[in-house]
Structure formats: structure tokens, C-alpha cells
Amino acid sequence: MRRPPDPRPPDPRRSRRWRGSIIAVLIAGSAGQGVVPNFASAAQGNGAIDQAQRRLDAANLAAQHHAAAAAAAQRAARIADAQAGALVSSEIAAAATLRETQDQTALIVAKLDRLTTATAAARAELEADAAAIAPLLPLIARLALHPAATLLAADAAPGKAAEGALVMQGITREIGQRAANLRRARRRYAHLSTALTAQQAALTLSITTQQAQEAVLQRRIAAVRQQAATLSARRAAEAREAGADAAQARSLVGLIGRLRHQQAQAAAARARAAAARIPAPAGNLPKSLSGAPVAGTLVRGFGQPSAAGPATGDTFAATPGAVVTAACTGNVVFAQPFQSYGKLMIIDCGQGYDFVMAGFDRFDAAVGQTVRAGQPVGSMARYDPHDPGNQPRLYVELRHHGAAIDPAGHFGAGAAAR
């Protein structure tokens, strides 16, 4: 039975409002059975772009900070390298000074060796001379103290006594000369030994000082090199982080570009859909079909009991591979998988009427396309020999301003099998 015509002309705003309620009803009917599809609005798209832009600005700022830190680390590394070079030059100069001191020490040691040898020879000669005159020393001492008495006491001729006295005087002079030479040699040896000992002490102190200075230089060089290595590692890390931030920024720039492109495409698609939508003339209901939109058998009609309560549409056990035709003339406004309904299509029939069909295997009409009643818009799943009892099912609803109504009067005689 046909319903009376709606005298009001179609209102796109009302159509959008109740079509949103269709989606809400479908979501409520299948809550917890799937993922809600992404019906992103223009505001949501702008929000995503703004969020990506904020992330891009933050990434650019971080990249600038890392680049500045990398430049500072590079400057500090150059300063550390210059300091290390200056310290190495100081070390080389200290090593040269130390080498001169060591060479001087070697000369002094050689001179000391020669003096020691000469002193030993002089001492040996002195000792030999002393041994030769040792038996005469008592007589020499007596002659030195009492020369006249010693000569008069000798039992000898006067001539012999005088000759002996002369001989003794000569021997005394020789012994005195040798003794003087020995004393001079001893003084020279003592002086040289003292000087060499002092020089050796000074050289030892100088060498110790130079070695300490060299150790300090080595520690400073090691510290500066460690600092340079640390700064170099920091510079490399900052460069890597700056590169990563730059790469992230480039990625975000691409993301923003894609989001803006997608937003523009969505706006263009909405404009095309709005321009292509042809509302049915006032006073006309959706054109009746000569039969159901799919070949098969009605297994549950509108209002019959179901697990979710009274059915809000018709369910057909479709012939495997059957073609699904448009239930009215209008525009396809939705065609994509939707929660537990599977592939779902909504056709805007005008005057607030929408046909909802779910259970497709394939769509043959796209969103924004204008279709006529009876025009193929998709097909059901084909026969599965491994599961012959699993017959594909098509669920059909007719909604008027979002409220489900009985679609029986709009399927013509072909629906009499109910």
C-alpha cells in the first residue's frame, strides 16, 4: 500500500540531519560489534592540520636548538683542539730543555770520571813515594827538629857528616815537594768532588722538575683531548638530533600537505555530491520496484521478532552471486564496510527517504553517483562449495527522516512472497 505523498519540498538540511540519525541508529544497533567508521568533518580535518602544524613548529624549534647546540659544540671543539696543540708545543719545548740538561749531565759525568781517574793515579804515586821514604821519616823528623845535635852525635868523620847532612837536606826537600803536590791534588780532588756533587744534585732536581712538568703537561693534554672527544661526540649527537628533527619536520610538512589535500578532495567530493544530488519531485514517493532488490527469499520481515527486538527492516536470503539493484531513484551517499553489517550502502531517495542495504560482497556504485530504481549497485557473495549452507543475506531498511518504516509497499508485487 502506497503512503500519501509528502507535500513539502526536499530540504537538504533536514536530509543531512535525519541521515545522521540513520548512522546513529545503526551504530547503536551494532554497539560493541565493530569499529565505528571515520566520518571526519571539515572541523576535524582542520583540527588534524592544526595539530600537525603545532608538531611541525615544535620540531622546527627543536631542530633550531639542536643546530645551535651543534654549532656551539663545534666551536668549543676547535678551541679545545687549539689548546691541545699549544700544550703539545709546550711539551716539545720542555722535552728539548730536558734533553739539554741530560746532555750537560753526561758531560759532567765524563769529566768527573776523568778527574776521579787522575786523582786515583796521583794518590797512588803519593803513596808509593811515601812508602819509599817511610823508613827515613824518624831521622828526617829529628833533623828537622835538632839538625846540629843529630850530626854531632853521629860517629863519623867530619867530612862524612857534612856530606850526610847535605844528602838529608835534599831528601827533605824532595819529600816536602811530594807532600805539597799530594796536598794540592787532594784539595783539587775535594773541590772537584764537591762541585760535581752539587752539580749532580742540581741536575737531579732539574730532571725531577722537568719530569714533573712533563707529567702535568701529559695530564693536561689528556684532559683537553678527552674534552675534545666529548665535545666531538656531543657535536655528532646534536647533529644527529638536528637531522632527526629536520627529517621529522619534513615528514610533518608532507603530512600537513596530505591532510590539506585530503581535506580539499573531501570538500570537492561533497560539492560534487551536492551538485549531483537530484531530489525527487514533490509529492512522489520512492519509485516501486517490480520485486525485491535482490533475488531470493524473505526470511524476516519488518516488525518480526529478532535478537535485538522487532526488526526494523527486511532480511532476504539471497541467491549466491545475485545482483543487488537500487530500491529507488536517488544518490548514493554512503558505501563502505560498517561494523557488523558488512558492506553497507545508503541511497538518498529524496523527500527524506533513504534506503539502507547491507550485506554486499561488491559495490558497483560509488558515493556521489546518481542511480535509478532497478539499476545494479552491487552483488552478493558467490556460492561457496565448502560451506553450502551459508547463504548470503541482504538486509534492507527504508527510513523516512531517520525513522524506520515498513518497506513492503515499495517493493511492488515481487515482495508478495512475504
pLDDT tens track for 147-183: 666 655 555 555 665 666 666 667 667 767 766 776 7
Query: How is the chain split into domains, by residue range?
Result: 12-36+285-415, 59-246
Backbone angles phi, psi at 4, to 5 degrees: -65, 150
What's the gap between Cα 11 and its chain centre? 57
Q: Is the pLDDT of residue 331 over 90?
A: yes
Q: Using one digit for the tens of pLDDT, what is the confidence trace for 124-146?
A: 776 776 676 676 667 667 666 76
Residue 395 near residue 407, CB atoms below 8 Å: no
DSSP tag of 7 = -
Fold of 12-36+285-415: Glucose Permease (Domain IIA) (2.70.70)
Largest Cα separation within the chain, whole Å, is 194
Question: 282 pLDDT exceeds 50?
Answer: no
How far is residue 36's CA from residue 34's CA, in Å, rounded to a whole number? 7
Q: Which of the pair, 91 or 392, is modelled with greater confidence?
A: 392
Query: b/e per residue, 360-399, with b = 16+ CB within 10 A?
Result: bbebbbebbbbbebbeebbbbbeeeeeeeeebbbbbbbbb
The pLDDT, as a whole number, for residue 362 is: 96
Q: 54-79: buried (b, 16+ CB within 10 Å) or exposed (e) per residue?
A: ebbeebbebbeebbebbeebbebbee
**How is 301-323 classified by DSSP, letter by letter?**
-TT-EETTEE-SSEEEEEPTTPE
72-86, 118-132, 265-279 — which is least confidently predicted?
265-279
Contacts of residue 381, defined as CB under 8 A and 6 or more positions apart, other chains included, come to 320, 321, 361, 392
Q: Which pLDDT belongs to residue 394?
A: 94
Report whether pLDDT(283) > 50. no
In terms of average pLDDT, the best of 71-75, 160-164, 343-347 is 343-347
Give residue-wise pLDDT tens across range 217-228. 678 768 767 776
pTM given for the model: 0.37
d(CA 14, CA 20): 10
Helix (H) or strand (E) holding 280: none
- pLDDT category at 300 given cuts 50, 70, 90 is very high
For the chain, give the mean pLDDT: 73
Angle at 273 between CA 272 and CA 274, to 5 degrees: 90
**Given CA atoms 102, 108, 114, 116 in this order, what sign does their dihedral have?**
negative
Judge contact between 397 and 25, C-beta under 8 A.
Answer: no
- What are the residues facing 316 on neighbouring strands? 298, 394
